[in-house]
Structure 1
Amino acid sequence: MSNVNAAVANTADTVSVTPQLIAGQARRLWIDSIDWLQGHWLQILVAVAVATIIVLALAALKSWGKRYCERQPVITGWSGVFGRAIARTNSFFMVMIAAKLVEGYADAPAAVSATVNFLFTVAAVFQAAIWVREIVLGMVEARTQTDRHGAEALGTAMGLIRLLVTFAVFAIALIVVLDNLGVNVTGLVAGLGVGGIAIGLAAQGIFADLFAALSIIFDKPFRRGDSISYDTTSGSIEEIGLKSTRIRSFQGEERIISNKQLLDKEIQNNTKRDHRRAKFVIGVTYQTPPETCARIPALLQEIVEAHDKSFVRAGFTGFGASSLDFEVEFDSPTADYASFYDGRTAVGIAILKRFNDDGIEIAYPTQTTFTAAPDGTLVMPYPQVQPVRQIDDGGAGD
């Protein structure tokens, strides 16, 4: 039993951290550093000179980044993105680069080398996290600054995006640092994964609409003010929000639909039309002579071109139940709906007038009933009425 207690005591002495232990290791580090400086002063001077030049170059680059951001506060391209990232370079990171160069070239002792490697790892990883965050956020802003409406829509989401990006990159940076220091990060990674899944499941609707909003802002299937159609709804985009899009329908009411649900539909962007197409289906009576029917396609083309429309096609389409069917298609030269609407009305009235002038009768649904005689021959529905003969009764009524 005494041997076990002694072993436990020895183990406790080995792992315990006391002020005396810290002071001893600090003294050892100081002595090793003095010996190193005395034995490698020339290499250290050369390394310090090179490191100073590198630090000054990095400081000048950082200063340029700050001046560039001051001249162009609004990010509009890759130069602005990288300029802002460079401006966020940390001075501690630049110093540790210099220290790493000195330590590697001048053959530093183990204690000094371990200390420099530890500090350099921390500085490099977190500096990389800062750069990644600034580049990602800069890309998001640069993508939307060219579109004023996109920038307005992004303004409400930017705070949440910045929080999510910052949390993600610095969580990864912390794990990388701990892993390089020999810490077992398996439990931490598992905990973050479980927490992320829980948060994602709890807020999956919000995140889905948020990413859909970003997709609308970046991909630009439509913008604020565009006229769109989906399902049976048509209207103009009034606002693209963080969770939903507001559409003013042509009937006057405001329709609100979630961003994810809207992107799941087939959307027609009427604002991006380069023309509008109209089609008329016209039926003439079966009594119309074939020669007249043959002239109808050319006649329709003449009417369309007389109204400055782009003629597409016209022709006979089939034998209807009570009409010979023709159709004509033509395009409006612009996408303006009002102009298209008025032009379609004018062409339709002109067709009606020309058909009336040429004696071409437009058919309407008709049905004729025939009566069969006992011998199977057809009898017209309105046979000739026989005249009624007056019978003379010879004055019997007198």
Structure 2
Amino acid sequence: MSGILNPEDGSFWADEVFFMNNATIVMLFGILTLSVFARIGVMALAPRILRKIVQSDSIQAKTIRDSDKALGTAAGAGVALFLINTLIDMMGDVNTGIELPDLAIRIIPNVLQFIFAISLVVWAFRLVSIVQDVVGLLDNDDELDGTERTLISAIESILRFAIVFIGSVFIADALGFNLTSLVAGLGISGLALALAAKDTISNLFGATTVLLDRPFKIGDWVIIDSVEGEVTEISLRTTLIRTAADTIVTVPNANLVNTPVENFGKRRWRRWQTALHLELNSDPAKVADFCAQVLESIHESPVTVKPESSWCQVSTLTATSLDISVNLYWDVAGGAPERKAKEELVLSIMQTAKDNGLTFFDPRMVQTSQ
């Protein structure tokens, strides 16, 4: 080994090819070989190690199997970068005969650092998707609710922003930018950047407000300003709302700070009021029985809440009909269950009226008689 590190003049190791002696070429080839073995080794060993640590197949797939090339490339580039820097440091020793052209000394470490940074950024971006799997593992009911999906969306957005920011710093350093001068320049132009990014900062504060105050979560049906629909995604900059027409409306989070939000998803119950119009010549006793039976049907419904505030009573007598007011409250989770409960009650009311020999007022009969 000493012959390679300190080759004698006229020896094989001292012969020069492409501005480098054979000793340097052999060491570079050795570094390349070690980096390739490091890449292959990481791609082969990482899944086995991870299987002993994490039992989730989905996390294993996303962290290793779906990104093994990026992880292996980062490992290989990291090993090569470390060895190249070590080799360059050894060149300062007068007892070594290692020779690298100045151009290679400037370019090779930067190229390796660039590959290392890009590979890590790619791998880290793919890791972001495991947030949902981790939250799923911690969830007891094996079903992600709106709050958990909101948290996942926010964490993923923050992680992507952090990855891009940190990765940009490493990539800029690899490309030869002077980070000290860059930071100083940012300090000088900080005011201009702050003014230019005021909307982005406002959106970040808006996202923080949504996460802390929780005026709504993913899956809620909301009205924000003139936009009505279901919240499908909450990111750092915007909130996406899918309308009843199946269109997507993008709402900047900055608008959420000072805009009233009507959230139908936070309703404790759903109120339904209607009026029934019976014929004027209806038997009062049968009408009373009819009202009592309808109210009993309301109370017996499994989705009825606040029974003490529900009623079915004669409200007024008009020139053409006897009007009955109906008021009730349902505990239903969405529009479909509400429509189902309403259908069942309406059919029950129709059957009750038929059983009591009552008929509903028909305006067409009045027009015919006239």
TM-score range, shorter chain: 0.3 to 0.5
TM-score, normalization by structure 1: 0.42
**Structure possessing the higher radius of gyration over alpha carbons:** 1
TM-score, normalization by structure 2: 0.44
Q: Which has the higher contact order (CA 8 A, sep 6+)?
A: 2
